[in-house]
């Protein structure tokens, strides 16, 4: 388990399982499931993220979706999606757009 990468908006821990395909030096694609347990903007509960990543013309893309019906506690009914953005120096930033 580790702390999710969403800054102060989401606190808690998660558990992940990924399948990664690697060609040459970098991952070419992956899919994964991540269960997040914590507090999101003051609401306690959990939900599951479905990850997907790949590349187009050498530019990587990574997205995730909240698996509907997986929200528990105060997060019951949560749905939405997000992405991981890789900057020019390899830094990562994360977004999660959701509705309850």
Among 70, 92, 72, 69, smallest CA distance to 82 is for 92
**DSSP-derived secondary structure letter, 6:** S
* Distance separating alpha carbons of residues 15 and 18, to the nearest angstrom: 10
How would you classify the pairing of strands 43-56 and 59-66? antiparallel
* Residue pLDDT tens, the chain, 100 long: 333 455 556 666 666 666 666 666 665 678 888 888 888 888 999 999 998 888 777 777 889 899 999 999 999 999 999 888 887 787 878 888 899 8
Among 36, 38, 31, smallest CA distance to 17 is for 31
Which structure tokens are listed for 74? 């105060």
How much is the pTM?
0.74
């Amino acid at each position: 388990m580790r702390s999710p990468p969403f800054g102060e908006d989401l606190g808690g821990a998660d558990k992940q399982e990924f399948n990664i395909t690697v060609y040459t030096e970098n991952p070419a694609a992956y899919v994964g499931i991540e269960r997040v347990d914590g507090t999101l903007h003051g609401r306690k509960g959990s939900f599951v993220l479905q990850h997907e990543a790949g590349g187009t013309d050498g530019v990587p893309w990574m997205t995730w979706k909240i698996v509907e019906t997986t929200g528990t506690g105060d997060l019951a009914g949560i749905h939405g999606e997000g992405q991981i953005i890789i900057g020019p120096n390899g830094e990562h930033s994360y977004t999660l757009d959701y509705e309850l």
